Each structure stands twice: as C-alpha cells, then as structure tokens.
Amino acid sequence: MTKKQLIPEQINKKLEAAPIPDILNWVNEHFPTEKIGFSTGFGSSGGVVLDHLMQVNKNIPVFYIDTGVLFRETYALRDRIEKKYGVRFIRYRADLSWAEQEEKFGPRLWESNPDLCCHIRKVLPLREALSHYEVWITAIRRDQSPTRINTRVIEWEPRFKVIKVNPLAAWTGDMVWRYIRERNIPYNKLYDLGYGSIGCFNCTSALRAGESEREGRWRGLGKTECGLHFPTTDKWAHSLETQEVDR
C-alpha cells in the first residue's frame, strides 16, 4: 500500500469532526515518529497544534523556515515556546543569502517578483525539510482565506510527495483564540498591535478596519499565499514547482 492509498475517503469523513488528539493519534498509529514533521510559522494556529502535539507525542520533529527577515517578536516567541515546552526547533533556510539573492535577481525581489522571492526563501527550504518525512502536519484553516477553503484534514501533497495533515482545517479564528486564552499558550505580541497573519517583516503589515486575517500580507501586490500551501498568483512561479531556481 502506498502512502497516498492510506487516505481513502472514509478516513477524511471519520476525522473531519474529530478532536485534534484523535487526528494526531491516527498519524501516530500509521507512521513512525521520526517520519512525521510539524511545520510552524509561529502563528496563533500553530500554537494550538503544537500544544496538542506536546500532549500526544512530544518526540515528533518540529521545524520552521527561517527566511532571515522574520520579526524580532517572532524569534522571541520561538524562544518562549522552547522554554515552555522543552521543544527544540529544527531550522531550515534558503541556500542563497539575501546579498546573493540581490546580486542574482536584483534588489527588493519581494516587490518585483514576490512569488519568486517566496519560492527561494520558503518553498525550496520546505522541500528540503519534507524530504526527511512522510507526513507533514500543518496549522492551516479553511477560514483563513478563499485559497484554503477546500483544505481537507488528511490529503496527499503531490509536490512534496507527503501526506499532509491539517488538524485545524475546520476550526475558526475565534476557536483558536479561545483555546489560546484557556491554555495560556504563548503567542506573538504583534497580534496585540493589530496584525492578523505574521510573516516576513518586509511583506507584512497590520490589518486595517474590516480586513480579513491574511490581508496584511503582501499588501497591494495581489498576493495572499507564499506558495507553501499554494496557490501563488504568478503562473511563472507555479512552473518553479517542477524546477530548481538556477543557482
């Protein structure tokens, strides 16, 4: 049986309304711990999944993509989480330094071609990270944006050839924050300053009145996804999924 065949329709139906521990236990029952990886961008939803993960299996590897331009508040949160849970994050980053990227593709690539910038600094490091795992646990939710509305609890990720597990798929933002307050989970202090989704400091801004959670990302560029979870807006960037950036 292939990894893809492990996720028949009845599994999704069974786990759709299941508590997060039940979803994570399904993963534990079918895969060795060292082949399961949880990725976090240190967002509010990630804090909820990590808290559950620490209750179910503390040994599952936890990793993050360090673009080199994360907010200082994000790095501070990483350190607080490490202290609270005793977790040691695995860091992945781009092969190109920011100086090398500028020399090769020009200055301020996040403005001239934001999809390419995200591909270099996020997608390629994620590909390297997931080459070590058979299961990728995420914290994405359907209500975060229209591009995530069809997210399933268990799905096959053909780009990285892993089973993708989204235990918060059916959760809402209100549910996330209720859990954070009840469990006193550490969170990024930028949320208190009006940020809704937090990524790189050169591409992230606080929300304006009436904006949805991810509208502070890549403001004015017509972009809502970095490409980790697809889709990106630039068709050319899509083709990079089957290529390597010429280094």
User: Domain limits of the chain?
Assistant: 4-193
If residue 127 lies in a helix (H) or strand (E), which one and from where to where? helix 124-130
CATH of domain 4-193: 3.40.50.620
Per-position pLDDT tens, the chain of length 247: 455 555 657 788 889 889 999 999 999 999 999 999 999 999 999 999 999 999 999 999 999 999 999 999 999 999 999 999 999 999 999 999 999 999 999 999 999 999 999 999 999 999 999 999 999 999 999 999 888 999 999 998 989 999 999 999 999 999 999 999 999 999 999 999 999 999 999 999 999 998 889 899 999 888 888 989 875 443 434 444 444 444 4
Report, as residue numbers or ranges, the catalytic residues. 226
Torsion angle of alpha carbons 181, 90, 79, 57, nearest 10°?
Answer: 40
Using alpha carbons, list the distances in angstroms from residue 22 to 15, 28, 34, 48, 240.
Answer: 8, 10, 19, 15, 36
pTM for the predicted model, two decimal places: 0.90
